[in-house]
Amino acid sequence: MSADDTIFALASGTGRAGIAVIRISGPCGGAALAALTGRTAWVPRRAMRVCLRDPQGEHLDDALALWFPAPASFTGENVAELHIHGGRAVIAAVMAALSRIAGLRSAEPGEFTRRAFLNGKLDLTQVEGLADLVAAETSAQHRQALRQLEGALGSLYEGWRRRLVAAMAHLEASMDFADEDLPEGVEQQCREEVAALRAEVAGHLALGSGGERIREGFLVVLIGPPNAGKSSLLNRLAGREAAIVDAVPGTTRDVVEVAMDIGGLAVLVADTAGLRSGRGRVEQEGVRRARQRAAEADLCIAVLDGAIWPAVDGDLLKLIDGDALILVNKSDLGGFDEPLVVAGRAATAVSAKTGEGIAGVVAEIGARLGRRFAAGDAVATTRLRHRHGVEACGSALSRAEAATAAEVMAEELRAAAAALGRIVGRVDVEEVLAAVFSEFCIGK
């Protein structure tokens, strides 16, 4: 790949549609438009109706064309867009015509966004936000991705990084130009700034992995004894026959997972093998996997068999954590005395067969996950690499705060700034020198 190339690709989805959009980016974008339309004069960012012809003059389509001159474009380069009719034959003909124009080639995957990053139009967190926005399947994922694309996360980290660069500049100046007329208490001011930044970083990390969970999805695991109706409950929640249901206990041997949208959250609901002493190697493995998934879950739903209520398996009680949702299934059989209590905790009567109480269960799942992982208006990490970078920054700030020598403190500040720079994709040690010479009258 070369930045001197002009690239083109279909920017809309594949398949038959009313409209398709082809994007062209690079120095030959204007020449490509001229070759296809015969026009050389364009009003920036205004759609113009054109007749598209291939280099041999054959009529390809009546279309709309837009011109985005650099740097006011998505990639920061000259960009053209062709809005054509969405038939496969039309798309193929226009793409073939573009491929025959000198200086143009098909874009590699993600190359438009890569150029936007390299040209400073997006930082790495915004690039990731754009990818998440395209992949979003729930309202929570949509909101989070859009906020990240707008720069909320990158602005936070970039703001911290700039403060670190300024602190480094002052500290380096106090060490290297001690004989000059510098403000008093520079090192103490740096220490105060480091303490403030460390507190902000710690608060950011305290938000936990809620942003990552929203992006990746939450894991909800159904656990309980055999024949309690876990598979029937999964099918009721999914609205389809996702798991095999049979009156014979132990039907479910492996983990059956179904992706759902619950309260705007991406949730993976897992049905597991009934918890009992396995009667064969396969069932024993199923029980082992059930316990493993329960340990990994963001939320466990303990499903009890209402047909034998109030009997409760002791091994199941050991797996019920403080936030688990406890259900007593088969309420359609009747005979339940309210309120239902299991080991001192409230339980809810439901019927996977009739649907009684299921709407309340769905609402409760969304509410519990929301309470545990909500960050409110705060900006949270959305990827593990973000969290690792912020953790590295926090560790460096702690070491800087504890340092007694200014040289050691400056080196730790440099490490903290580099950790943040890796998150947003901007690491430039020359910024420290630039800040020194711009803020202090040194060498006059």
Write out the DSSP string of 139-159. HHHHHHHHHHHTTHHHHHHHH
Domain ranges of the chain: 6-118, 139-208+381-439, 214-373
**What was the pLDDT predicted at 440?**
41
Quick one: pLDDT band at residue 44, thresholds 50, 70, 90?
very high
Q: How confident is residue 245, by pLDDT bands cut at 50, 70 and 90? A: low
**Residue among 357, 359, 318, 358 nearest 338 (CA):** 357
Where residue 268 falls (left for φ over 0; alpha for ψ -120 to 50; beta otherwise) is: beta
Mean pLDDT rounded to a whole number for the chain: 84
Mean pLDDT, residues 354-367: 91
Q: How confident is the model at residue 135 (pLDDT cuts 50, 70, 90)?
A: confident
Q: Tell me, what's the pLDDT at 323?
A: 80
pLDDT score of 58: 92
226: preceding bond cis by omega (within 30 degrees): no
User: What CATH class has 214-373?
Assistant: alpha beta
Residue found by looking up tokens 């995957």 in the block? 109
Rounded average pLDDT over 162-174? 85
Q: What is the pLDDT of residue 373?
A: 77
pLDDT for 370-427, tens place per residue?
887 776 678 889 988 899 999 999 999 999 999 988 889 999 999 999 999 988 887 6
Predicted local distance difference test score (pLDDT) of residue 436:
39
pTM over 0.75: yes
By DSSP bridging, strand 79-86 and strand 59-68 are: antiparallel
Q: Supply the pLDDT for residue 148.
A: 92
- The pLDDT, as a whole number, for residue 443 is 33
Phi-psi category of residue 344: left, alpha or beta, with phi > 0 → left and psi -120 to 50 → alpha: left
**Averaged pLDDT, 238-248:** 63
How remote is the C-alpha of 249 from its chain's centroid? 40
Residue 183 pLDDT level (bands cut at 50, 70, 90): low
Whether residue 159 has pLDDT greater than 80: yes
* Fold annotation for 6-118: Gyrase A; domain 2 (3.30.1360)
| Domain 6-118 identical in fold to domain 214-373 | no
Distances (CA, A) of 54 to 46, 94, 218: 23, 7, 50
Burial of residue 94, with CB atoms counted within 10 A of its CB: 0-12 exposed, 13-18 middle, 19 or more buried: buried
Residue 413 · residue 194 · CB < 8 Å: yes
pLDDT greater at residue 233 or residue 311: 233
Closest CA relative to residue 77, chosen from 129, 112, 102: 112
Fold of 139-208+381-439: Four Helix Bundle (Hemerythrin (Met), subunit A) (1.20.120)
Which residue, 296, 293, 250, is CA-closest to 273?
250
Report whether pLDDT(239) > 70.
Answer: yes
Q: Does residue 375 or residue 440 have the better pLDDT? A: 375
Neighbours of 44 (CB within 10 A): 10
Cα 128 to Cα 145: distance, rounded to the nearest angstrom? 8
**The pLDDT value given to residue 240:** 75
Question: What confidence score (pLDDT) does residue 432 get?
Answer: 45
Neighbour-count burial for 188-197, b at 16+ CB within 10 Å, e otherwise: eebbebbeeb
Q: What is the pLDDT of residues 14-34, one digit of tens each?
A: 777 899 999 999 999 999 999
